[in-house]
Amino acid sequence: MIVVKIGGSILSDTLHTSIFDDFLRILRNDKIIIVHGGGNQVTSIATKLGLEQRFVVSPQGIKSRYTDRQTAEAYTMVMSGQVNKSIVTVLLKNGINAVGISGIDGAILRAERKRRLLVINEKGRKMSIEGGYTGKIDRVNNSLINVLLERDFVPVISPIALGEEFEYLNVDGDRAAAHIAGSAQADKVIFLTNVPGLLINGRLIEDLKISDAKRMLPTIGFGMEKKVLACTEALELGVREAIIGDGSRENPVSRLLAHESCTVITGNE
Ligand code: ADP
Ligand code: MG
């Protein structure tokens, strides 16, 4: 089983069309779960709705959307609506039996709402602010995913989680993919994005151990920092290999499975 996270950055138009052949080939003898992002699409539509989007940075250097109630609603509409359905339709058009669901459906993703957020303000000082509607994933229920997989459907999951009070919470797509991969005991989790992998001083880091990945986290720029963090989470949850790579190349998934110019993160042993 492999979990493929498709980033919003690559979704718009640059995803290589040969990805469908890749999927069909893999599906002959394996299962695929797709998790997607779509942050830019959320920002664009929320802004059109008159909701100015704000981003905050944690003391660990992780950037996230500040999600008030209205933003949580816009996030859910765009992620589970437009973004999810456009992925499902393009998969169906290419012969892949896709079903779009959100992390809320069948209570796949449960998360603890972050009541307070520790953020770094403009002056570089730590500050505690009202948490809003973001969550930290604490449980994954695979039953709906398994039902779909058994019937040869490809689940396409949007990153929304159910809070303790049954409110919907914005969760990060990369970390959602990591948790779903861990819970499904996937062999691999693959992050398709718009760069070849983790770049340090312009050089692609091809192999990384989890301990080095953790150590490097604070030095990695926004966007990639969450992928590397998600890779470490997936590995800690028992996934054997986490791969970050470019989705715009030909046969992107096969290439990454063959470790061609990408970042592969593995456990310490
Ligand atoms: P996605 O939509 O796939 O999640 P993001 O934009 O969130 O994509 O993350 C990928 C981006 O991370 C890249 O386009 C790049 O601009 C940025 N980035 C920041 N630091 C690094 C780094 N050290 N190596 C590679 N990319 C980086
Ligand atoms: Mg991202």
Dump pLDDT digits (tens) for 140-153.
999 999 999 999 99
Ligand 1 centre to CA of 196 (Å) is 10
Whether the CB-CB separation of 193 and 9 falls below 8 Å is answered with yes
- Which pLDDT does position 122 carry in this prediction? 86
Would you state the torsion angle of the CA atoms of residues 94, 96, 102, 104, taken in this order, to the nearest 10 degrees? 170
For the cut 90, the answer to whether the pLDDT of residue 8 exceeds it is: no
- Which pLDDT does position 268 carry in this prediction? 82
- Which pLDDT does position 61 carry in this prediction? 86
The pLDDT tens digits of the residues spanning 64-81 come to: 999 999 999 999 999 999
Ligand 2 centre to CA of 9 (Å) is 7
- Which pLDDT does position 250 carry in this prediction? 96
Ligand 2 is an ion; its neighbours by CB within 5 Å are: 223
Q: 162: which residues sit within 8 A by CB, 6+ positions away?
A: 103, 104, 107, 109, 110, 111, 168, 169
Ligand 1 centre to CA of 148 (Å) is 31
For the cut 80, the answer to whether the pLDDT of residue 10 exceeds it is: no
What is the share, in percent, of the chain residues with pLDDT greater than 70?
Answer: 99
Instruction: Tell me what the pLDDT averaged over the chain comes to.
Output: 95
Reported confidence tier of residue 11, pLDDT bands at 50, 70, 90: confident
More confident residue, 268 or 214: 214
Instruction: Give residues (CB < 6 A) around ligand 1.
Output: 7-10, 37, 193-195, 198-199, 220-224
- Which pLDDT does position 14 carry in this prediction? 87
9 Cα nearest atom in ligand 1: 2
Atom 19 of ligand 1, residue of closest alpha carbon: 221
For the cut 80, the answer to whether the pLDDT of residue 21 exceeds it is: yes
For the cut 90, the answer to whether the pLDDT of residue 62 exceeds it is: no
The pLDDT tens digits of the residues spanning 207-242 come to: 999 999 999 999 999 999 999 999 999 999 999 999
- Which pLDDT does position 70 carry in this prediction? 95
Q: 125: which residues sit within 8 A by CB, 6+ positions away?
A: none
Whether the CB-CB separation of 96 and 23 falls below 8 Å is answered with yes
For the cut 90, the answer to whether the pLDDT of residue 13 exceeds it is: no
- Which pLDDT does position 1 carry in this prediction? 97
> At 213, phi and psi to the nearest 5?
-60, -45
For the cut 90, the answer to whether the pLDDT of residue 12 exceeds it is: no
- Which pLDDT does position 263 carry in this prediction? 98
Using CA atoms, how far residue 67 sits from 39, 131, 223, in Å, is 12, 8, 18
**Rounded distance between C-alpha atoms, residue 152 and residue 33, angstroms:** 11
- Which pLDDT does position 206 carry in this prediction? 98
Ligand 1 pocket mutation, candidates 9, 42, 78, 228, criterion most atoms within 8 A of CB = 9
Whether the CB-CB separation of 75 and 8 falls below 8 Å is answered with no
